[in-house]
Structure 1
Amino acid sequence: MIDPATASRLQFAVTTVVHIVFPVMSMGLAPFLVYFTWKEVRTGEALYARLRRFWTKIFAVSFAVGTVTGLVLEFEFGTNFAAFSAAAGELFGGPLAIEGMMAFFLEATFLGVFVFGRDRVSDRLYLVSSVLVGLGTWLSAVWILIANSWMQTPRGYELARESGQLTVLLTDPIAAYANPRFPWMFVHMQNAAVLSVALFMAGVAAYHVYRRDHLGVVDGGNLDAEFWRATLKIALVVLLITAPLQVLHGDAYGRHVAETQPQKFAAMEAVWETDSYVPEYIVAFPTDVDDLLNPRAKEIFGIGIPGGASWLASGGNAHAEITGLNEFEGSPPVAIVFWSFRAMVALGFWFVVLALWAGYRWRTGELFEDRLLHEALMASSVLGFLGVELGWIVTEVGRQPWVIQGVMKTTEGVSPGLTATEATLTLAGFVAGYLVLLGLYTYVVGRLIRRGPETDGETDAVLPDTARDPGIAPAAAEVSEDD
């Protein structure tokens, strides 16, 4: 059996790693859907209606699965981390409650109009519904990130003892909820979501262009060619904006982490002893197994920028001092943080290269002829989601051993009545259940992608369409938009 603290942490990690895929897809797709709807209403072109209908299907599936997995996460605060919830509920519970009452219900209410109401409401109301669905999606992120950022940089509170129980009391809501970490997390997360979806859309479009133009597979005539070429161009425009922004913002974000969580920054750079002129390893390799599991900056073999880590931490001084992990009380699992950070940074630079490569091919008129580019886009289609996962691993694992930075340790927040048997069994059950959910989601989305966009005569109904028997002809199974 696994001890309750470790099992609870693993369970929350697994459920979070799976869950984050769905809100990232929803948040990233929202701006695209608003744009497609606006262009459809403004121009009346069938292409934008088809783009809206196709990507709305994936949005709706992501929203449905994300809702289920997200609710479970909130329940885990009570089942696995009751001590934390009891101590910090006054600060932590408010944003979560507002997220449910404001953002979720706003999104859920108007999603029905957006999915099923194209022929039932006016163009103006339909466009408004798309905006409100997107707004609800992003507002959910606001309140979730407010709660999480407070745990990273707690402000606006005081500690008290009530019946021997440590309690965190809210004294300044503005200081607590407008804490210094929130704007950094929000910009980085939302840009990452849009970037991830742009990369996903580009990869899906490249897959269909590749099959048609390089393999000679024709599924839907010229309309499908137009659809996927338009998708690829739109995705690349967004990728050219978001990929460089993510790198530039990430550089500034790293400085903020060094100022507010020096322990996490030291783990990101594997610095144990306080030192200056610390190199930033762009490419790093372990020289033996010990270096892989317990990396140290001076013992890693790789390509590094001399003084780069010091420059990053200080904002321009390559000789700045970085406080080593030995100066802090406890330290996070350094290997996980160090290697995750390097992989995340590598992916960020790859996305910039990929965007510039595609932009150059577009400029030279060879966007649809470059077979290698199409293969690279297909191979990179889900790497944006991997980058988000790695970023959250750095954020959450790097904060350990604290659940509230400098206030409460994670082991102190575990439910006191939870036994090792209960924790281990629920961990196994959640791993199995979430893997099944992820597999079903992948199957449904993959089926939608393989099928491609519907013909102009198909309805806007989304969820029933994903479960339709593929042997039934679309004309017999659906109601025409013109009816």
Structure 2
Amino acid sequence: MVDPVFASRLQFALTTIVHIIFPVMSMGLAPFLVYFTWKSIRSSDPVWERQRRFWTEIFAISFVVGTVTGLVLEFEFGTNFAAFATFAGELFGGPLAVEGMMAFFLEATFLGVFVFGREKVGDALYLVSAVAVALGTWLSAVWILIANSWMQTPRGYELVQRGGRTVVTVVDPVAAYLNPRFPWMFVHMQSAAVLSVALFMAGVAAYFVSRSSADGGEGDDDRDDDESDSRTDDTRFWRTTLKIALLVMLVTAPFQVVHGDSYARHVADTQPQKFAAMEAQYETEAPAALHLVAIPTDPSAFTDPRAENLWTLDIPALASILASGGNPTYPVQGLETFQGSPPVAIVFWSFRMMVLLGFWFVGLAVWGAYRWRHGELFTDRRLHLALMGSAPLGFAAVEIGWIVTEVGRQPWVVQGLLRTQSAVSPGLTGTEATLTLVGFALVYTGLLVGYGYVVRRIIRSGPPEIDAAESASTEEGGEDSSPSDRTPTAEVSGDD
């Protein structure tokens, strides 16, 4: 049987890797849905109501599956990591409890109104429900990231003896909850979620726009008028989606690169061991070069990425400049100065994959903007293929980023306080850990496949139709709006 420590870590990694997909989708969709709801209320153009309905379906299924998988993660702290729960439960449990009482119930309460209540409430209340659902989604991230960021940079605590065990007690909740890592993690995670969803939306829209172009445009003469109108409406829907997603990519992709650079500098200040693993810096150097490109010359370099096993394209002193914020002679600590180090190869290669994806997203956004400016956004087949291929890459970048964050902290589960080896439940056997690992692998694989199947069905069904009665009702504006409140349809919803 597998070692219980290894099996528990692998199980938690597996469940987290699957779970994170669903909150990323819901958190990333939240601001889009607020915008679509606002536009559907303020504008008589039915394209916005179709946008709201279509993406709400995907949001709702993501919320449901994310809730189920998230609850399982919290139970794992008691089943597989009871020693950690005993050690840090007073501090770690607080944010998780607040997340449930504040964020989850806020989101769950208004989700019913948002998903099912459009015809039952006025415009103002319905817009409030959209904002409340989005706020609840993002508040969940606040409290989850407070708990995780404290594990990276613990503050506001004391170690005390209780029942013969050393445990953490909170002495300064403000310092603990607003620890140095939290703002960096929150901004980077939420921006990544929005960018991931924008990439997903752009990829899906590019598929339908490309297919429409290949079929001969917005309609053909052999079809009856109703079918031709439906095709025209669907084409306009996907073109609008592509434009909105591209606009968001143009903002979030460059921001992620700039913010990520500053975030890495913060990691160098607060977790120099993780930064050394990210750069495979085995020995302390001043100045320290940055491995811009590292190509293995020997198979062993994949698992032991030392400089002598790699062909590298180095930029002299750049690691020192990045770590210090401009000082080319700044000494970068090497891994030999620390007791125990993370699996360097995993952190080193994951960090490079994440950076590469970040720059690809910037290039993709600029490419799309260039084609848009020249009136070729809907006809560039290569751009459409690139967007389709990149649709899942935002989620992949989030997964890789969390690998850097969590694996880079090893061998600590709480930085400098509790090692992962000591965090696992003391009574857990290898047999138990192995059986639950296999069981979770099967169940979570099934959940992921089922989720993918449902989302695929939603996408293949296309945007919902708005019948004449609904369109007339939309134009009347409901009890909380008037024709004078309405604004012309934005240029983004039209054709080039």
Give secondary structure in 2 for the equivalent of 1:443.
helix
Encode CA deviations 1:293-325: one digit per residue, 9 max, x unaligned: 110245421333222212111111223211111
Identical-pair percentage: 68
Number of residues of Structure 1 aligned to a counterpart in Structure 2: 460
Give secondary structure in 2 for the equivalent of 1:403.
strand
TM-score calculated relative to the size of structure 2: 0.91
Contact kept? 2:107, 2:136, Cα under 8 Å: yes
- Further displaced range: 271-280 or 70-79: 271-280
| Separation in 1, partners of 2:396, 2:469 | 34
The CA RMSD over aligned residues, in Å, is 1.4
Give the corresponding residue for 2:31: 31
Counterpart amino acid of residue 413 in structure 1: A
| Separation in 1, partners of 2:312, 2:453 | 39
1:419 paired to 2:429: yes
Give secondary structure in 1 for the equivalent of 2:125.
helix
Give the corresponding residue for 1:428: 438
Give secondary structure in 2 for the equivalent of 1:415.
coil
Contact kept? 2:300, 2:309, Cα under 8 Å: no
Indicate which of 275, 279, 289 corresponds to 2:285: 275
1:332 paired to 2:345: no
Alignment of 1:129-144 (within 5 A): 129-144=129-144
| Separation in 1, partners of 2:316, 2:21 | 36
Give secondary structure in 2 for the equivalent of 1:159.
strand
Encode CA deviations 1:183-242: one digit per residue, 9 max, x unaligned: 000000000000000000000000101111135597841000100000000000000000
Indicate which of 366, 379, 390 corresponds to 2:389: 379
1:83 paired to 2:83: yes
Give the corresponding residue for 1:9: 9
1:291 paired to 2:301: yes
CA deviation after TM superposition for structure 1 residue 88, in Å: 0.6
1:308 paired to 2:318: yes
Encode CA deviations 1:36-74: one digit per residue, 9 max, x unaligned: 000111113211000000000000010010000000000
Indicate which of 352, 364, 371 corresponds to 2:362: 352
1:235 paired to 2:265: no
Give the corresponding residue for 2:210: 210
Give the corresponding residue for 1:165: 165
Contact kept? 2:298, 2:309, Cα under 8 Å: no
TM-score calculated relative to the size of structure 1: 0.93
| Separation in 2, partners of 1:272, 1:204 | 43
Contact kept? 2:298, 2:310, Cα under 8 Å: no
| Separation in 1, partners of 2:466, 2:18 | 35
| Separation in 2, partners of 1:364, 1:281 | 37
CA deviation after TM superposition for structure 1 residue 459, in Å: 11
1:447 paired to 2:457: yes
| Separation in 2, partners of 1:354, 1:245 | 14
Contact kept? 1:311, 1:317, Cα under 8 Å: yes
| Separation in 2, partners of 1:326, 1:302 | 21
Contact kept? 1:195, 1:384, Cα under 8 Å: yes
Give the corresponding residue for 1:463: none
1:105 paired to 2:115: no
1:343 paired to 2:353: yes
Alignment of 1:63-74 (within 5 A): 63-74=63-74
| Separation in 1, partners of 2:336, 2:63 | 44
Counterpart amino acid of residue 379 in structure 1: G
Give the corresponding residue for 2:119: 119
| Separation in 2, partners of 1:223, 1:183 | 42
| Separation in 1, partners of 2:246, 2:39 | 18
| Separation in 1, partners of 2:340, 2:389 | 39
Contact kept? 1:282, 1:346, Cα under 8 Å: no
Q: Which runs of 5+ in 2 are unaligned?
A: 220-226, 471-496
**Are residues 458 and 387 of structure 1, via their aligned partners in 2, closer, same or farther at CA, if it must alter by over 3 Å?**
farther
- Further displaced range: 38-47 or 217-226: 217-226
Indicate which of 251, 261, 271 corresponds to 2:271: 261
Counterpart amino acid of residue 17 in structure 1: I
Counterpart amino acid of residue 132 in structure 2: L
